[in-house]
Chain A
Amino acid sequence: MVEVIEIINVGLFAAALRMATPVAFAALGGIFSERVGIVNIALEGMMLTGAFTGVAVCFFSGNAWLGVLAAVLAGGLLGLLHALLTVKFVGNQIVSGTGINIFALGFTAYMCQIIWGSRGASQSVQGLSVISIPLLKDIPILGGILGSHTPLVYLMLIVTVISYIVLFKTPVGLRIRAVGEHPSAADTAGINVYKTKYICVIVSGMLAGLGGAFLSLGHLSLFALGMTGGRGFIALAAMILGGWKPLTAFGASLLFGFADALQMNLQGLGLLPSQIILTIPYVLTIIVLAGVVRKTIPPSDYKPYVKE
């Protein structure tokens, strides 16, 4: 028992923030998409593709930030695909999302094999280096948790706040919310419903791609087959738990990040078999969904908007 308490320290919380980052990015992506009325279960695939693209571009260019940019673009491209299938061609949103997920898995494994000769993992690359924020890191406890991270973690915090401001304090956000909840009202108010949906779904892909870039470039410095491990779906749960609002979704992501960090630390203790510990984040997600969903109201009915 003593050992378990020992792992609860500043390091654990710092790890929680770290592991929350990809989930938070994806959850924010999910918010933008669902707020505009499109279910995006392809966050997982967009994340995975972002992770791969980031490492691949970094490998060839030697520049990790170029890799991050590429990850964002890759995610955005998949977002465009999802938007085309669901908005322009009025396809089933879940089927499209699933197709993108399968595609991402196969495509990344295929390309991994082509580039590095192994479908399991890429070579290591020079990922993003950790930065320390000068004054912040010296604050007791809080400094330990917040002070040193890869830049993507800080970017996540900034993007979270920006998302909140955009959604609730700007005309753009007002229009987004209207388009998702009552597209006819937005249309008759002169808003281009289709354009808004396209942009938001592309943005959701870009954010998921960023989350993937963190996993590969900001965390492990390589790409491994299926490295997103369901985080794209956990992000959906975080989004629901957070009531489709950026700040609370971030809080929910912290919860899952904590479960992830806890699971990693518990592995080292050898108290429970690793497989059982690995189930913690997934079981937690199920429990959260079971406990929360009744009380939440989705921002849209997700029905396709068809003008006559």
Chain B
Amino acid sequence: MIEEKERSEPKVKQLLRKILPRVKSSIRGALPQIIAVLAAFLVGAIALLATGHSPIDAYSALLTGAFGDVFGIGQTLTQATPIIFTALAFLFAFKSGLFNIGAEGQLLFGGFTAALVGISFNNLPVFIHLPLALLAGALGGAFWGFIPAVLKAKLGAHEVITTMMLSYVAFYVTGYMVNYPFKAPGWVAQTVFVAPSAELPRILQPTQLSASIIIALILAGFIYYILERTTLGYEVRAIGLNPSAAESGGINVKKGMVLALVISGAIAGLGGAGEVLGVHRRFIEGFSPGYGWDGLAVALIGGLHPAGAVVAAILFGALRSGGMVMTRVTGVPLDIIFVLQALVVLFVAAPKLIRYLLEKGGLKWWK
């Protein structure tokens, strides 16, 4: 009799019973990051007060701007999309022990190569042209990641500096490309539009949200799978945690590092391609307001887990889109959102800091 009762239990309840503990433990695991975000907003509120602005007005404008209507949500997700890519890029490299802070440059370069393929052909069917352009973006980013990778593997050059330098180089090189050889007629430094067969479709009218976000989400799942369930991911993680032991276990550490950084660059490049092909449909100088740097912060705030990166990216996307509304409505300078971002990164940098603050604040029961 009991068996029959169990069998007739709704499928939904069964599913919930499986998922709920997992969700609970994820939240518990993400507690330091959540507290970091809250702490950052608290400090931000103090900063706003100190400079003569009302935190309540600013934050509510932020919230309604980001999620208040279809347009807001669309903007939020659109802004979040490239950040998902750059966060995954940083995350993947980080798992192998490398600090790729040049995702911005890889994004720009990949965006440009995608645009190049997009504008160079006019008679290709969409199911060839679009994937080709996306692939070009990924390869462009991969190339931009390959340079520091090889320099690190062969010559020991620290990737923090080389990727950073290459970001500046990418900025200037693509800037040059789009001001001279590939400049479209007119005043703005941009290319002509890409062929319609290379466009990523918009998925939420009337916003700019493109299919790029679908690619981003699939990629996030894919990255998780690679890292946790494949030999490649095993080796990448081993190299990141203990290169000496990995080497003793027969893993080719140098090759692994190069591969990780190249893949990392490819991810960022794909993100650039998504922006160029989905949102703007052309390469515009300065189209990235620092998505690469956001990606870094987002990866850290997301606890270096692909799912966390997606959630944190949406948070940052909300900050950006809501921020523009906030500036318009309350006059608070947009840059406060960067201060907020930085504060979250700083709070996340030192896990012991959170514990210290909780103890000092008498909130021992949180633990």
Contact = CB atoms under 8 A, between A and B. Distances in A.
Whether A and B touch (Cβ < 8 Å) is answered with: yes
Interface of A: 41, 81, 85-86, 88-92, 94-96, 98-100, 102-107, 109-111, 113-114, 119, 229-230, 233-234, 236-237, 240, 273, 275-276, 278-279, 282-283, 285-286, 289-291, 293-294
A94 B296 CA distance: 11
A233 B157 contact: no
B164 interface: yes
A96 B162 contact: no
B161 A237 contact: yes
Contacts of A289: 151, 155, 157-158, 161-162
B337 interface: yes
Contact of B168 (A109, A114, A282): A282
A114 B51 contact: yes
Contacts of B337: 106
B218 to A, nearest CB: 28
Interface string B314-351: 00000000000000000001111111111101101111
Contact of A236 (B156, B161, B335): B161
B176 A273 contact: yes
Nearest to A288: B157
A103 B353 contact: no
B180 A273 contact: yes
Contacts of B352: 88-91
A293 B99 CA distance: 17
Interface string B293-325: 100110010000000000000000000000000
Nearest to A105: B338
A107 B356 contact: no
A235 to B, nearest CB: 10
A89 B353 contact: yes
B339 A107 contact: yes
Given A273-B176, A278-B172, A279-B173, A286 B166 contact: yes
Interface of B: 51, 99, 101, 151, 155-158, 160-162, 164-166, 168-169, 172-173, 175-176, 179-180, 293, 296-297, 300, 333-343, 345-346, 348-353, 356
A119 B335 contact: yes
B165 A233 contact: yes
Q: Is the interface of A mostly helix, strand, loop or mixed?
A: helix
Contacts, number: 149
10 contacts: A85-B346, A88-B352, A89-B350, A92-B349, A98-B297, A99-B297, A100-B342, A100-B346, A119-B334, A273-B176
B159 to A, nearest CB: 10
A102 B297 contact: yes
The 5 closest A-B pairs by CB, nearest first: A106-B338, A91-B350, A103-B342, A89-B350, A99-B345
Nearest to B148: A286
B342 A102 contact: yes
A103 B296 contact: no
Contact of B156 (A86, A102, A294): A294
A279 B169 contact: yes
B30 to A, nearest CB: 17
Contacts of A275: 172-173, 175-176, 179
Contacts of A233: 160-161, 164-165
Given A233-B161, A294-B156, A114 B342 contact: no
Contact of A279 (B101, B160, B168, B336): B168
A130 to B, nearest CB: 29
